[in-house]
Chain A
Amino acid sequence: MVCLNNMPREYRIRFLPIDRVAPAAEGDNLLEIAMKAGVHINASCGGNGACGKCKVRIAEGSVASSPHRCLSDDEYGKGFRLACSSTVNAGAVVEIPLESQVDRSILRKPAIRDDADAAALIEGSIRDNAFEPLVVKHYLELPGPNPNDNVSDAARLARGFVPGKDGSEMAVPLEVLGDLGKKLRDAHWKVTVTAASNERFREAVLVEEGNRERVHYALAVDVGTTTVCAQLIDCGRGNSGDVKGAPSGNPPVIAESADYNGQISYGEDVISRIMYSRKKGGLKRLQDIVVSTMNRLIEDLIGSACVDAADISHVVVAGNTTMMHLLFGIDPKHIMLAPYTPLATAFAPVSSRRIGLKLGGHARLYTVPGVASYVGGDIVSGVALSGMTSRDEVSLFMDIGTNGEIVLGNSQWLLCASCSAGPAFEGGGIQFGMRAAPGAIEKVRINPANLEPMMITVDRAKPLGICGSGLIDIVAELFMAGAIDQNGKFAEKRSSPRIRKGVSGYEYVLCFAAETKIDKDIVITEVDLDNIMRTKAAVYAGCKVLLENGSLAFPDLGMVIIAGGFGHSIDIEKAVAIGLLPEIPVERFRFLGNGSLGGARMAAVSRSFFEKTGVIARSMTNIELSNNTQFMDEFMAAMFLPHTDEKAFPEVMRVLKTGYRS
């Protein structure tokens, strides 16, 4: 029940002189409100109060803000505040001082879509897939044996078990038979049987005394190259009442945790991990490390949810093909050798103890199947979750991580490819690149008149570096401001104290050393720009080749689904401006978030969803791009801002040529 008194109060903040009103809730940060509303305020420290540039004057109303060393008493008295250190506590009229003002015509609201997308996207998946966990728990009150009914204990147990919807019967394996007789009799024939689903039948994995139906948990794990994310799901709640209706739509997540994949110390990308696995003992070590990362997460989850590890009935993992090889301890060598054949892409369910997970012996480990060496179960999981395979309109699914996997298709067909995009958007190969962690510059606007930046960091911590969304913003803003040319090189004619010649060519200074946490100027160099260009070109080119293989073009797409952690905060309009994303109506883009984890979660509570991932994996046609001449050609064409084919980006070109005006 929602207590209305606890809801933050809504206020209106009016920005002058551009006269734009933005809604705000009590406690919201003023700088963030301005960014969201497209109001430019100089801010070069990311919003942690170090640079003192985001000075504004509160003309009416009030904000909660303390005095600051950058504000004289006189200024404070006159109503000047630092926007980054001010939170809303009432309605207010905020004056932007002259030094921060930008021609209002260039102020546009960022086209950021949020997680609301994800909920709407997966609604279909939830609706279409009945709540039936991969492992079920049923409480049985069996009639005891008598002279007229003396079938075996095992047959009695199986007989009492409600067959699955498909009529599948339950088998009782040797492991369970061991103490079955005593258990049944001790429990007076009132037991809860835990049954795992296999391909064709269910198999009893545990028999417990009494009614344990409600004590039934599952884990969903996304085993990423960089991060491992896990969720603990309560499957027992779904058991009460209507079997079909999962409570409140989504599978009930009761705890969530994430950590870096411990394998990171042995290489940042899959290729270096494969290289390491070829050393003596390397494969075993990598397996042990990722398993211990998972065990740490499990401990964390059961601790915070107060759940007994023995009550976890099953685990569903999704990850790229290399991660799955390493998790199961099988040799991934051929993944990196032409013609890139994995040992396996699908794995039969096994006991989770087989790989060393600290769970009960009965806990089953299920794996979302993959497609090929560079299109793994993480992608299949996301595609299944996104519901694109149940729609007739064609969708494009993109996961912009290190590899940049893309999937095109609809209810009838699916094409996929991996376009070795490089890690630029994860911060790799960028001098001050970093992942989206506290201190990462994630949103940037640049005043085209004087190239002064406005930026916000994750958690508004002192800047440490730049993450993917920040990089996209910077390139787009510098490009639209005319500070870089269409070939991604700095235009020398722009003179600004922020553009200078550094050790690796020209560079743009985003933050001066004093404003950062690293005591170094945070810059973006021409080499960085090159790397970003290559990454964005690979992604766009891969999409283009897939589309052409399907005899389609970007405008034919009903939906573009962006998955991956990276996809949370990217500003679509900026990504289009640099030609990373195609120029199609902005409302066709959707953010899925971590589709790999979401799909694993759905699979854990829906056998039909899990089976669907198998169907999807088998029906995807993989297009190999590494030796594809068309891809190389499209790649060269995309190595330009926004693209060599200007006709594909008419709006970007129009804005570029005429300015934001008109």
Chain B
Amino acid sequence: MAFEIPKIKYTGRIREVEIGAGQKALKVGGATCYPFYRFEGDMPNVPKVAFEVWDSPPDEWQQWAVEPYRDVLGDPVAWAKKCIDAYGAEMIVLQLRSADPNGENRATEEVVEVVKKVADAIDVPLLVWGTANDDKDSELLRMVAEVCESKNVAVGPVSEKNYKQIGAMAIGYGQVVMASSPIDVNLAKQLNILLGNLGVNEEKIIIDPTTGGLGYGLEYTYSVMERDRMAALTQEDAKLQFPIICNIAPEVWKTRETRLTREEDPKLGDEKRRSVLMEAITAMTLLVAGADIVVMRHPDSVSLVRDMIGELCA
């Protein structure tokens, strides 16, 4: 008798969530098997890389991170377009860093103006990432949802503290919400239930499990995502059957290991190569854990990750 590879019995399916409108709209999720286990099930939508664009010029970026975007860093619209045109971005994440009350604390109206400009200028799906300050985001993302009407953007992070305000506006303007919880499978599920109770459509939720970069808690995110997927696919846990997004770039690029130059610590080797690998490895690891969208910065790390996705989905 021929040897038969044992197969996992799946009982659930990740919901498909569409982001964006028009021809370039994209679907994420839909899997009926563990990540890349295509010999056991279906993975109709391959995982996506989203390029990050900041709403104001970053002043603490490493030279080797600035390099690919030097000419566009002051103009979010041009930046987004460069990602799409030069680096083939299929999705843009607009990080609203300037609104952070602990930083520049730019007024909501000004920030929203930028969001609207970017949204109007690009045709790929837009994801708008707030400040992770519950109160500010509550105000900011509500307006974002409003000005991006009919564009089917994703807004987040939406927390247990502000889900009502943002969720209500997202329902009203038909946007997707990115439900964010602090690295805990139960908290993720609770927020999804609360969003459901509020009336958010199940095809409009993406999970943000909170991302730790390589060396900075990656393993926690990994375990939680693994458990999310096990619950969703093998334990019929409907409240976890949503695509997952990992906002990797800001986590990786703020670490000491991506900041130190070879001169400062010769043991660590070339700084650019090192940083690119750190970003790529974080993304690859989280893709294997079940991420449907990874948010990345450097075109070189993106291309490594695309190669991996391509090979695993060949």
A contact set with B: CB distance below 8 Å: 485-487, 492, 633, 636-637, 639-640, 644, 646
Contact = CB atoms under 8 A, between A and B. Distances in A.
Contact of A636 (B160, B187, B193): B187
Nearest to B189: A644
A646 B186 contact: no
B164 A492 contact: yes
A636 B160 CA distance: 14
A640 B186 CA distance: 9
A639 B188 CA distance: 12
Contact of A486 (B184, B185, B187, B190): B190
Nearest to A638: B186
B194 A486 contact: yes
A644 B164 contact: no
Interface of B: 160, 164, 184-187, 189-190, 193-194, 197, 239
A104 B186 CA distance: 37
The 8 closest A-B pairs by CB, nearest first: A636-B186, A637-B186, A644-B186, A640-B190, A644-B189, A644-B190, A636-B184, A487-B194
Contacts of B193: 486, 640, 644, 646
Contact of B197 (A486, A492, A639, A644): A486
A637 B194 CA distance: 14
Contacts of A644: 186, 189-190, 193
A223 B193 CA distance: 45
A646 B189 CA distance: 11
A492 B189 CA distance: 22
Contacts, number: 27
A486 B193 CA distance: 9
B199 to A, nearest CB: 12
A652 to B, nearest CB: 14
Contacts of A487: 160, 190, 194
Given A644-B190, A644-B193, 12 more contacts: A486-B190, A486-B194, A487-B190, A487-B194, A633-B186, A637-B186, A639-B186, A640-B186, A640-B190, A640-B193, A644-B186, A646-B239
A485 B196 CA distance: 12
Nearest to B231: A645
A492 B193 CA distance: 17
A526 B164 CA distance: 17
Contacts of B185: 633
A640 B193 CA distance: 10
A361 B69 CA distance: 92
B271 to A, nearest CB: 37
Contacts of A646: 193, 239
Contacts of A640: 186, 190, 193
Nearest to B184: A636
Contacts of B160: 487
Nearest to A489: B160
27 contacts: A485-B194, A485-B197, A486-B190, A486-B193, A486-B194, A486-B197, A487-B160, A487-B190, A487-B194, A492-B164, A633-B185, A633-B186, A636-B184, A636-B186, A636-B187, A637-B186, A639-B186, A639-B190, A640-B186, A640-B190, A640-B193, A644-B186, A644-B189, A644-B190, A644-B193, A646-B193, A646-B239
A423 B305 CA distance: 52
A644 B194 CA distance: 10
A331 B185 CA distance: 42
Nearest to B238: A646
Interface centre among B190, B193, B194 (most CB of A within 10 A): B190
A591 B193 CA distance: 34
A542 to B, nearest CB: 16
A640 B197 CA distance: 13
A326 to B, nearest CB: 38
Contacts of A485: 194, 197
Nearest to B236: A647
A640 B192 CA distance: 12
Contacts of A639: 186, 190
B194 to A, nearest CB: 6
B8 to A, nearest CB: 21
Contacts of B184: 636
A639 B193 CA distance: 13
Contacts of B164: 492
Contacts of B189: 644
A373 to B, nearest CB: 29
A343 B160 CA distance: 45
Contacts of B186: 633, 636-637, 639-640, 644
Contacts of A636: 184, 186-187
A151 to B, nearest CB: 75
A154 B193 CA distance: 78
A485 B186 CA distance: 16
Contacts of B194: 485-487
A636 B227 CA distance: 14
A486 B185 CA distance: 16
A70 B211 CA distance: 62
A33 to B, nearest CB: 37
